Amino acid sequence: MYFWKVNALADDLKADRLSEKEKMIYFFLSSIVTVFFLEFSLYMGQVPDRVNITSSILNVLVNAAGLLFCYQANKKGDNKAFIERIICLSVPIGVRVIIASSLLYIVYLIGFVVSGHEIDSASGVMDVLFGVAFEVIFYIYLGKSLYRISRAS
Tell me the per-residue pLDDT of 6-27, one tens digit each, with 9 for 90 and over: 999 999 999 999 998 999 999 9
Task: Please compute, for residue 37, the number of CA atoms within 13 A of its CA located in the half-sphere on the CB side.
Answer: 5
Reported as type and span, the H/E element at residue 12 is: helix 6-14
Q: Is residue 142 within 8 Å of 90, Cβ to Cβ?
A: yes
Tell me the per-residue pLDDT of 106-150, one tens digit each, with 9 for 90 and over: 888 888 778 876 666 556 777 888 889 999 999 999 999 999 999
The pTM of the full predicted model, rounded to 2 decimals, is 0.84
